Amino acid sequence: MFACFTLKVNATSSPVSVNSFKAIIKLEDQLERERKLINYIRDCFQDVPVENLLGVKREINKLLTQSHVENSTAFEYFTESIYQRRLTNMDDAEASMLKAVKYAAKNGDHFLMYSFFTHLAFIQTDEGNAIDAVTSYGLSKKEAVKLKDPHLQLLVDINMSDVYYRNNFYNQSLFYLNEAEALSKKYTPNDDYINKVIYYNKSETFFRMNKPDSLKKYHDKLKAIKGNIYKLYTYQKRTEYYLYLLQYDFKKAIKLIKAMQNDTLYKYNDQDQQNLADAYYNGGKPDLAVTIINELLAQPLEVNHPEIKYHLYKVLGQIAEARKDHKLAAFNFKMSLEQSEDVIRRLNQVGNISSQIKIDEIEGSYLQKGETYKRERLWLIFAVVVALLVIVIGTMSYRSARQKRHYEKLLFTTHKKELAFINSHEVRKHLSNILGIIDIIKNSDNKHAEYKQFEEHLFCSAESMDKAIKNISAKLDEQIPATDSLNLSAAPKSAMSA
């Protein structure tokens, strides 16, 4: 009964939601489906007690197998990697993620490759392996460029800036943050979550570079963001005490950091402990600083990278030197030097990789500009061809219209001459006959006899003149529609007057 009850509790409290999983795999858009499935798997392991992690992994793999999810093998390796990462088995987590990348590449899935390379870089960053992390982010960015997704490129820029920040490459970190901020302003200007991350990362970088004015500028930008956004309150409070530290007001900084320890809204972590130790040391309380530093040094390598140890041992050496404990000071400085040599060795390698990535980015940018130039050239050629066709068609239309008007004018002139000929030879001829006969009758002594004699001639001449006038009228009717634009209202005035 106890075993059944335990199983029932585990089943009801499982973070693996079957309904959510089914809703995700029903999505038609492949990219959206894969994005949500990756977030789903990652969230299932979030905040789960270590003893329940294996059960969560088995449930997810069961759902993937039963649902015949596309690229299910890649997702299974991704699940294994997240599981091993939660167990802090970083080597196993990295090996599983590399297998996930291999299967995604085999299927040519650029979004999965982008996501898996990004998570691989997360693991390598947790290990303190900045060299491989930068390489993985570089590969991830190539996939984001292939996808032509500025949002994904922006996220890679932010993640790469974090690696450089952790390794004290502050100018390089700012370079990628500036790129991310430019993409954000262009494509997602109102995304407060993205702006929060960029403003905070810039604040962190300016704090390490000891630039209070720049820090204050981005602290104010963080303060201007409103809403219940994840870690926003923490970032606002942390950058606030950063300002106190750069202004050498260590009392206020210590007071604020200690207040944050008991603030349930604030996500207090080892980073705050390191800053508290520095504040104690610079504020004249070395004993408290030593206590905190020894606690931090006792933590495992995963959260205690060489660049962190270098600073902690250096502070311990300075405290021992101030106390005239030269033996302890020498030991701490020696330890600091060893960590420093490790950091320098890795920084040189990171710098070389950074240079290669920059070369790849410049080459990619050149290729993109080349493609853009080709497209613009094709459009220009197309526009020129269209313009030439328009000119040719326009010229031909104009010439055709001119020729038409010319031929119409010639036709009109021909008919005008023809009408003039009819008018002069036909109408006037018969009109002259009629006028002559009328004149003879008018001057005759016996008008009745004369009329009787010329009646037949008079009738024939009048009939002939009527036919001539009708002929002129018919020809005018034929020509008016064709030569309407030539203003024929003034044409053959003699005929009209007749």
Annotate 366-433 with DSSP letters as a single string.
Answer: HHHHHHHHHHHHHHHHHHHHHHHHHHHHHHHHHHHHHHHHHHHHHHHHHHHHHHHHHIIIIIHHHHHH
Q: What is the separation, in whole angstroms, between the first and last Cα of the chain?
A: 130
Domain-embedded: residue 60: yes
Q: Which of 291, 296, 292, 339 is nearest to 314 (CA)?
A: 339
Q: Which residue has the higher pLDDT, 495 or 210?
A: 210
Measured distance CA(415)–CA(413) in Å, rounded: 5
Mean predicted confidence (pLDDT) in 34-53: 92
Domain-embedded: residue 232: no
Domain-embedded: residue 271: no
**Helix, coil or strand: residue 284:** coil
Q: Which amino acid would we find at residue 280?
A: Y
Give the helix ranges, DSSP H, for 87-210: 90-106, 110-126, 130-147, 150-166, 170-187, 192-208
For 109, the token pair is 């899935």
Range of the domain at 1: 1-127
Backbone angles phi, psi at 293, to 5 degrees: -65, -40
Find out whether 27 and 46 touch, Cβ atoms under 8 Å.
Answer: no
pLDDT band at 185 (very low <50, low <70, confident <90, very high): very high
Mean predicted confidence (pLDDT) in 56-81: 92
Domain-embedded: residue 235: no
**Helix, coil or strand: residue 444:** coil
Measured distance CA(71)–CA(34) in Å, rounded: 10
For 101, the token pair is 């990348």
Domain-embedded: residue 39: yes
Domain-embedded: residue 491: no
Instruction: Check whether 496 has a pLDDT greater than 60.
Output: no
Largest CA distance in the chain: 170
Q: Which amino acid would we find at residue 425?
A: H
Q: Is the dihedral of CA 420, 422, 424, 428 positive or negative?
A: negative
pLDDT at 115: 94
Mean predicted confidence (pLDDT) in 264-291: 93
Long-range contacts of 71-76 (CB under 8 A, 24+ apart): 71/34, 71/103, 71/104, 71/107, 71/109, 71/112, 73/103, 74/100, 74/103, 74/104, 74/107, 74/109, 74/112, 74/116, 75/37, 75/41, 75/100
Tell me the average pLDDT of the chain: 82
Find out whether 61 and 102 touch, Cβ atoms under 8 Å.
Answer: no
pLDDT tens digits along 280-330: 999 999 999 999 999 988 876 545 566 678 888 999 999 999 999 999 999
Instruction: Check whether 483 has a pLDDT greater than 70.
Output: no
Measured distance CA(53)–CA(99) in Å, rounded: 21
DSSP letter, residue 128: T
pLDDT at 347: 57
Q: How many domains does the chain have?
A: 1
Domain-embedded: residue 41: yes
Mean predicted confidence (pLDDT) in 61-83: 92
Q: Which of 248, 247, 244, 55 is nearest to 258 (CA)?
A: 244
Q: What is the DSSP string of 82-110?
A: HHHHHTT-HHHHHHHHHHHHHHHHHTT-H
The neighbour count for residue 335, using CB atoms within 10 Å, is 18
For 421, the token pair is 């000929």
Of the ranges 250-264, 277-291, 400-414, which one carries the lowest mean pLDDT score?
A: 400-414
Percent of all residues in the chain with a pLDDT value above 90, rounded to a whole number: 47
Measured distance CA(227)–CA(372) in Å, rounded: 40
pLDDT at 377: 78
Instruction: Check whether 56 has a pLDDT greater than 80.
Output: yes
Burial status of residue 8 (CB atoms within 10 A of its CB: 0-12, 13-18, 19 or more): exposed
Domain-embedded: residue 114: yes
pLDDT at 241: 96
Q: Which residue has the higher pLDDT, 131 or 325?
A: 325
From residue 273, alpha-carbon distances to 155, 208, 260, 293, 307 in Å are: 28, 16, 11, 8, 16
Measured distance CA(310)–CA(347) in Å, rounded: 14
Instruction: Check whether 350 has a pLDDT greater than 60.
Output: no
pLDDT at 300: 67
